[in-house]
Chains A and B, each alone.
Chain A
Amino acid sequence: MNFPDIAPALSITRREVRDQFRDWRIIFPVVGLTVFFPFLMNFTANQILNFVREYGANIIGERLVPFLLMIVGFFPISVSLVIALESFVGEKERASIEPLLTTPLKDWQLYLGKLLSSTVPPLVSSYLGMGVYLTGLYINKIPWPEPVMLIQIVLLTTVQAVVMVSGAVVVSSQATSVRAANLLASFIIIPVAFLVQGEALLMFWGNYDTLWWAVFGLVVLGILMVRVGLAHFHREELLGREIDVLNIRWGWKVFLLSFRGNARNLLDWYWRIVFPAVRQLRLAIWIVTAIVCVGIGVGALQVERFPILLNPENFREVNARIEGMMNIYPVFAFSPVLAIWWQNVRVLLVSLVLGIFSFGVLGVLPLMATMGLAGYLFGLLQGSGIQVLPLMVGLILPHGIIELPVAILATAAVLQQGAILATPNSEKTVGEVWLTSLADWAKIMIGVVIPALFLAAMIEIWVTPRIALMIIGN
């Protein structure tokens, strides 16, 4: 088996790291953040601990110590963002990228070399900073956080650095100028700022187990970021694109070409464009179906954790309620149909937005959460001695038989969009790939999901209550 040759990538890394350590503009903040900042944090920790002890609020002090450790570790890795954002586009602006591109370096070797050179120095600085902080704690006789917590914080710092750097390198390899890259950096800074706030919240809350999920999520995101960066890094793109004017006409053309294809009419569009697009989702549909099952299972398991006692007496009034609903929403009343249809479409749009920011991964959350809730409710009903099957058949099945498959289909389309973005494509630019994958999603939504959801909403308002009354009433 031939192992990939990483020696050229390491040559790039060595050169860049050496270059960074010759630049006082990098040395100064790195040394400052490594040495002086931890001292400041030690001082802060000491002062606050003494202060809160006076009021018997020792728990605040205990939770502050690991939080400050995380902050000490995080600050130096923020430098990595600056280095990474500059990695490709900076060389392009200084015209030193072309000689590199003319060497036999493979794209991935160049990319990996840049990635490592942007990650390693700030990360080393971060570890050193944490070491200085912990030494300060030892000297000041302040107890260290638990070993598991230490591991969690080191892992979080490391994966945060990888996520930030890999995101910034993607930006740098696609931007046309350092200025543009810096402007685009807010897409990294803002989510990471939210992430750090979330982690801080978990630490002060004392919910340390959940931090493992944050580590896991970041590892997945980091892998996806690196994968996307490698998949869409082409040396041609670095030199072939000079202008960053937003070309809406071009974007629309690419989208429309993929959305409409060469279909002659609506029937042809369904036959040659939409159905093949649905067939392409086979794997994604299986994955989402599995996730739905897991969601229902996890939801049902939560009944033991969050038990609510239901009184079967309350269900005696169900008939009356359904009849009331039927009076308010008679057959062919359109406003409730539109309300339900729009609610479902809106959820699937949220799924798309979440998917766009997470390569499809978070796009499954709305459906998974809904199914989790459904599983929890079924579990609760079952646990309270209420027969679930008639409720399911009467209240969910008539419209759910359409609603659930199309929700799975739409979620699969979001997942597929993320997967396409993370798949190498030497023929198209990232922009083209993104637009065509969005067009694929739009085909599924407009061609299948939206009409089907409308049908499901009509059934839900006009038919389901009557079937429910028949089944549950008896």
Chain B
Amino acid sequence: MIYTEDLTKYFDDFLAVSGITLRVNEGEVLVLLGPNGAGKTTTVRMLTSILRPSRGRALVAGFDVEHHPDKVRASVGVLTEHHGLYGRMNALEYLEFFGSLYGLKGRTFLSRITNLLDQFGLGFANTKRLGEYSKGMRQKLALVRALLHDPPVLLLDEPTSAMDPESARMVRDALQGLRSENRTILLCTHNLGEAEELADQIAILRKGKIIHNDTPEELKRKLLGPAVYEARFHLPLDGRNIQLPHGVRLIERLENRIRFTIDLPEKTNPVLIQTLIGHFEGLMEFLELPRSLEKAYLEAVSRSDGRSEHELS
């Protein structure tokens, strides 16, 4: 797991990360969102014991990043922002080299390399020079490198940014699999769809500070208000009066649709659906209107700038 408390980093007088407190349990995925320069990479570097925190502390896989840097590094698999492969090596040489730095060798290790390369669709190119790899292939190989020593904690900086949709799907599936193996994953991404799909928690960083940290649903509720439901009917409503149960507030009435918010959906929805069927003919659809994480994220960022999304629009 990952635990940080008041984690802070200064570069001379510049405050890059300010008082970050996080907790990511085993089998959970925390997604760090934030604009460029928000402090995501610095946070990851502190969690990898590459950068020393100026204040606060962090435990990764049970080890303090400041006092046991070697153990921390042995316990984390890191996908760095820039993959920095060695262009004159091939994939097998490259992975064997990194394996040797983790003290891995032998037949079992070689078969692990082969399995990982096959899993990420790189088996066919394992003897090809890395300089000839496409961007997506490089990213996948960097991810294989991060998984090489079977780490319990993964710190991944934009793992699918350079990939085609098919490869990105493959990687996301792999990450789901890794989560189900009880690994702790911290993911930095600008892909909000990916964040929504994978995250158990989302932390939004802004100017080095966490401005929001919640589950995706709770984040949306806090930033965009309660969920909006819509009922669609076969025929137009023609001005008919609608008697809605207690706790339901009508917010919009259209030709054959009504939109409303519900205080306690779990309790109210069955009653509401019965009411709607009883009073109107042809209830075609009853759904919660989808709200994008993007909208919530933009709202969070603009609120932190002192403006609301409504003001912006």
Contact surface of A with B, Cβ cutoff 8 Å: 7-8, 11-12, 15, 18-19, 22-23, 91, 94-106, 235-236, 239-240, 250
| Set of chain B residues within 8 Å of A94, measured between Cβ atoms | 84
Question: Could you tell me if A104 and B52 are in contact, using CB atoms closer than 8 angstroms?
Answer: no
Q: Does the CB pair B86–A19 fall under 8 Å?
A: yes
1/0 contact trace for B59-97 toward A, CB 8 Å?
000000000001101101010111111101100000001
- Chain A residue at minimum C-beta to C-beta distance from B155: A102
Q: List 13 A-B contacts (CB under 8 A).
A: A8-B101, A11-B97, A11-B100, A12-B101, A15-B97, A22-B88, A23-B88, A97-B84, A99-B145, A101-B48, A102-B48, A104-B70, A106-B70
* Chain A residues, CB < 8 A from B97: 11, 15
In Å, the complex CA distance between A121 and B51 comes to 33
Contacts A98-B84, A99-B145 given; 5 further ones with Cβ under 8 A? A11-B100, A91-B84, A96-B85, A101-B48, A106-B70
Residue from A19, A95, A240 whose CB has the most chain B CB atoms within 10 Å: A240
Assembly CA distance A11 to B101 (angstroms): 7
Q: How far is the CB of B44 from chain A (nearest CB, A)?
A: 9
State whether the Cβ of B50 lies closer than 8 Å to any Cβ in chain A: yes
- Contacting residue for B52 out of A22, A96, A236, CB 8 A: A236
CB-based contact A98/B82 at 8 Å: yes
B50 contacts A101, C-beta separation under 8 Å: yes
Is residue B280 contacting chain A, with contact meaning CB distance below 8 A?
Answer: no
Q: In the complex, A8 Cα to B82 Cα: how many Å?
A: 23
> A95–B50 Cα gap in the complex (Å)?
14
Does B45 sit at the interface, judged by CB under 8 A? yes
Interface centre among A7, A8, A101, by most B CB within 10 Å? A101
User: Which of A23, A96, A102, A240 contacts B73 (CB under 8 A)?
Assistant: A102
B124 within 8 A of A: no
A104 x B100 contact (CB < 8 A)? no
Q: How far does the Cβ of A11 sit from chain B's closest Cβ, in whole Å?
A: 4
Chain A residues within an 8 Å CB radius of B74: 104
Which range contains the number of B residues in contact with the other chain? Answer: 20 to 34
B166 at the interface (CB under 8 A from A): no
Q: Which residues from A are CB-within-8-Å of B45?
A: 239
> Quick check: A102 and B88 within 8 Å, CB to CB?
no
Q: Which residues of B contact A236 (CB under 8 A)?
A: 50-52
Output the residue of B70, B76, B100, B101 with the most chain A CB within 10 A. Answer: B101
In the bound assembly, the distance between CA atoms of A215 and B297 in angstroms comes to 66
Q: Is the CB of B80 within 8 A of A102?
A: yes
Alpha-carbon separation in the docked complex, A95 to B142 (Å): 12
Chain B residues whose C-beta falls within 8 Å of the C-beta of A95 in the assembled complex: 80, 82-84
Asked if residues A103 and B50 are in contact (CB atoms below 8 Å), the reply is no
Nearest residue, chain A, Cβ from B52: A236
Q: How many Å lie between the Cα of A97 and that of B102 in the bound state?
A: 16
Give the 8 A-B CB pairs with smallest separation, nearest first: A96-B84, A95-B82, A95-B84, A102-B78, A11-B100, A103-B101, A104-B74, A98-B80
* Set of chain A residues within 8 Å of B89, measured between Cβ atoms: 15, 18-19
Instruction: List B residues 99-120 near A (Cβ within 8 Å).
Output: 100-103
Q: Are A96 and B86 in contact (CB under 8 A)?
A: yes
The chain B residue with its CB closest to the CB of A241 is B11
Minimum Cβ distance to chain B for residue A156 (Å):
33
Q: Considering the chains assembled together, what is the distance between the CA atoms of A91 and B86 in angstroms?
A: 9
Contact A99 B88 (CB under 8 A): no
Q: Are B11 and A240 within 8 A (Cβ)?
A: yes
As a 0/1 sequence over residues 166 to 187 of chain B, the CB contacts with chain A under 8 angstroms (1 = contact) are 0000000000000000000000
**For the complex, what is the distance from the CA of A94 to the CA of B85, rounded to whole Å?**
9
Contact (A240, B100) CB under 8 Å given A102-B73, A102-B80, A250-B12? no
Report B-chain residues with C-beta under 8 Å of the C-beta of A91.
84
Q: Which of A18, A22, A99, A239 contacts B98 (CB 8 A)?
A: A99
Q: Which one, B51, B81, B145, contacts A240 given CB within 8 A?
A: B51
Nearest CB of A to B54, in Å: 11
Which residues of the partner chain A approach B76 to less than 8 Å between Cβ atoms?
Answer: 102
Give the residues in chain B near A19, CB-CB below 8 Å. 86, 88-89
- A91 vs B83: C-alpha distance in the bound complex, in angstroms? 12
For A104, give its contact among B73, B85, B142 (CB under 8 Å).
Answer: B73
Minimum Cβ distance to chain B for residue A465 (Å)? 56
> Judging by beta carbons under 8 Å apart, are A103 and B73 in contact?
yes
B84 touches A103 (CB 8 A): no
The complex places the Cα of A58 from the Cα of B238 at a distance, in Å, of: 121
